[in-house]
Structure 1
Amino acid sequence: MAMVENSYSTRNWLITAVIFSALFLVIEVTDVKFLLADYIYRLEGFQWSLRDHFITKDILHNGVRELNFVAIALVLFLTIYHYSPFGRREKRRRYTLLLLSLLLSFGIVNYLKATLGMDCPWDLSLYGGAKPYVDFWSFRESSFAPGRCFPAGHSSIGFSWLALYFFWKNNRITLAKFALVSSIVVGFSLGLVQQLRGAHFFLDDITTAFICWSVSFFIHHFGKHHEANQR
Structure 2
Amino acid sequence: MKLLTLPWRAPRATLLPAAFYRRQWALLAVLAALFYAVLGDGRLDHWLAAFSFDPLSQHFPLQHNWWLEYVNHVWLKDVSIVIGVAALGLGVFGPRFGLDAEAARRWRLACAAMVVGSLSVSLLKQASPYHCPWDLLEFGGHAPYVPLLASLPAGVSAGKCFPAGHASGGFVLMALYFVYAGERPRLAQAWLWGGLAFGLLMGVGQQLRGAHFLSHTLWSGWVVWATMLAVNQLLGRR
Please say whether Structure 1 and Structure 2 have the same fold, judged by a TM-score greater than 0.5: yes
Q: Distance in 2 between matches of 1:130 and 1:45?
A: 15
Partners of 1:6 and 1:221 within 8 A in 2: no
**Residue 30 of structure 2: aligned partner:** 19
Matched, 1:135 2:135: no
**Residue 183 of structure 2: aligned partner:** 171
Greater alpha carbon shift after TM alignment, 187-196 vs 212-221: 212-221
Matched, 1:151 2:191: no
Cα separation, partners in 2 of 1:45 and 1:19, compared to 1, 3 Å? farther
Partners of 1:166 and 1:217 within 8 A in 2: no
**Residue 161 of structure 1: aligned partner:** 173
Give 5+ residue unaligned stretches, structure 2: 1-11
Q: Distance in 1 between matches of 2:42 and 2:142?
A: 23
Give 5+ residue unaligned stretches, structure 1: none
Task: Report which structure shows greater RCO (CA 8 Å, sep ≥6).
Answer: 2
Q: 1:92 aligns with which of 85, 89, 104?
A: 104
Partners of 2:103 and 2:179 within 8 A in 1: no
**Residue 41 of structure 1: aligned partner:** 53
Q: Distance in 1 between matches of 2:207 and 2:77?
A: 16
**Residue 188 of structure 1: aligned partner:** 200
TM-score of the two chains, using structure 1 as the length reference: 0.86
Greater alpha carbon shift after TM alignment, 193-202 vs 129-138: 129-138
Map 1:65-104 to 2 at 5 A: 65-82=77-94, 88-104=100-116
**Residue 122 of structure 1: aligned partner:** 134
Partners of 1:105 and 1:212 within 8 A in 2: yes
Cα separation, partners in 2 of 1:73 and 1:2, compared to 1, 3 Å? closer
**Residue 4 of structure 2: aligned partner:** none
Q: Which amino acid aligns with 2:48?
A: L
Partners of 2:90 and 2:104 within 8 A in 1: no
Deviation at 1:126, TM superposition (A): 0.7
Across the aligned residues of Structure 1 and Structure 2, the Cα RMSD in angstroms comes to 2.5
Deviation at 1:87, TM superposition (A): 5.8
Report the number of matched residues. Answer: 225
Deviation at 1:103, TM superposition (A): 0.3
Question: 2:52 is paired with a residue of what secondary structure?
Answer: helix
Q: Distance in 2 between matches of 1:56 and 1:44?
A: 22
Deviation at 1:94, TM superposition (A): 0.5
Q: Which amino acid aligns with 1:31?
A: R
Matched, 1:52 2:69: no
Deviation at 1:30, TM superposition (A): 6.1
Q: Which amino acid aligns with 1:11?
A: R
Q: Which amino acid aligns with 2:43?
A: D
TM-score of the two chains, using structure 2 as the length reference: 0.84
> CA deviation digits over 1:75-106, x for unaligned, max 9?
22222214769763232320121011100110
* Percent of residue pairs identical: 26
Deviation at 1:149, TM superposition (A): 1.3
Greater alpha carbon shift after TM alignment, 134-143 vs 210-219: 134-143
Q: Distance in 2 between matches of 1:212 and 1:127?
A: 28
Q: Distance in 1 between matches of 2:66 and 2:214?
A: 22
Question: 2:170 is paired with a residue of what secondary structure?
Answer: helix
